[in-house]
Structure 1
């Protein structure tokens, strides 16, 4: 199978950036109370559904996977970058980390209580995002939750905006447009957190977290 250029470019770029990312982001949650809050809420609703298995997709150096584990979830990480995965395995040897693609996950249908995609869809070309959202829906159990983090576009009339990411080509999304795409994929928005840019932020973009839920209609009565 021929690998799409976007995935190959992103993988190579993050392989090269892995040591820097591991050092830069390992302690990022310490200064981000709102991020900790939304992750804690995600952990709580996943645990309440009765299945704490969660995939951290685009896990990078593994620090968020480890945080989810601290919150009591059976979390594992997946990333397209083999170097990122090796870094995560070295930093958190007690956790599971796999090399994989969000567009074709090596995960069975309907087995996860939660899926996290934290700034990992931003490198996906817009026309390819529906395929990835369909994969997220496929691996989630009925009633399972999905949490996605991304940077917001400035103009709500445009679904996406390209921006100059430090590592690989990337996109900012209109929150309403992305929420509509989630609905089309069978993931209904439950909550939304908007974080305004702070003076110390590297990029002056609004940051969005959308929490969505897969319908329980396929559950037995």
Structure 2
């Protein structure tokens, strides 16, 4: 599958499930204290480093964007799916959401205080992660932070039905050490990591990595 066809399939799949996805995940963070802890530490780190805008890349219906905004971060969302962005704008009218890809990003170098990819790299083949993470590092300003959440494991699974709808998605699990190594190659430095056991019907543990771009000399 070419990159163009893969992105088209991801866009179409999430357009199809956007309303059901938003309903199903509404309030999810309220029952996930470990996730809230990582988001809280990230938000505090961004604020402590001088603030700045934070891009929630692959934001879906905007629940993480809104959570970060509630923690005092100037968060905005970007998503490939126009239907997801429409739902995010409907549910969080005071926040900014844009349709766009995670890479390349339509942003100048060093303009963000933070980048979040909350399980949004799940459909990116591992071989494409270096270029994706290099783009995250490019748009971060010195002392900016990145937070990546992902399925921690190995392998690919095919997803043809989700949220009551047919979809056309490959989902990748990636070892935390590999994700960390790829982020380090971009010049970012690891700050913290967490791996929690699977909940409910999750097929893999969930990994969370926070990285920081070194301050300017």
Q: Normalising to structure 2: TM-score of the pair?
A: 0.92
Q: Structure 2: how far apart are the matches of 1:193 and 1:152?
A: 10
- 1:70 counterpart = 2:70: yes
Once the two structures are superposed, residues 6-27 of structure 1 have per-residue CA deviations (whole angstroms, 9 ceiling, x without a partner) of 1111111000010111101121
Q: CA deviation at 1:134?
A: 1.0
RMSD (Å), alpha carbons: 1.4
Q: Structure 2: how far apart are the matches of 1:121 and 1:135?
A: 13
The match for 2:41 is 41
- 1:29 counterpart = 2:29: yes
Once the two structures are superposed, residues 146-180 of structure 1 have per-residue CA deviations (whole angstroms, 9 ceiling, x without a partner) of 00000111xxxxxx410234452110001001110
Q: Structure 2: how far apart are the matches of 1:163 and 1:61?
A: 24
Q: CA deviation at 1:205?
A: 1.4
Tell me if structure 1 keeps the 8 A contact 2:152–2:195: no
The match for 2:114 is 114
Number of residue pairs matched by the alignment: 209
Q: Please list, as runs of the form range in 1=range in 2, the aligned pairs for 1:1-221 lying within 5 A after superposition.
A: 4-153=4-153, 160-165=154-159, 166=162, 167=167, 168-198=169-199, 201-216=200-215, 219=216, 221=217
Q: Structure 2: how far apart are the matches of 1:205 and 1:133?
A: 22
**Which segment is superposed worse, 172-181 or 183-192?**
183-192
Q: Structure 2: how far apart are the matches of 1:194 and 1:164?
A: 23
SS in 2 for 1:169: strand
**Which segment is superposed worse, 32-41 or 104-113?**
104-113
Q: Any gaps of 5 or more consecutive residues in structure 1?
A: 154-159
Q: CA deviation at 1:75?
A: 0.3
SS in 2 for 1:13: helix
Q: CA deviation at 1:126?
A: 1.8
SS in 2 for 1:149: strand
Tell me if structure 2 keeps the 8 A contact 1:6–1:125: no
Q: CA deviation at 1:188?
A: 1.5
Tell me if structure 2 keeps the 8 A contact 1:58–1:78: yes
Q: Any gaps of 5 or more consecutive residues in structure 2?
A: none
Q: Structure 2: how far apart are the matches of 1:141 and 1:191?
A: 19
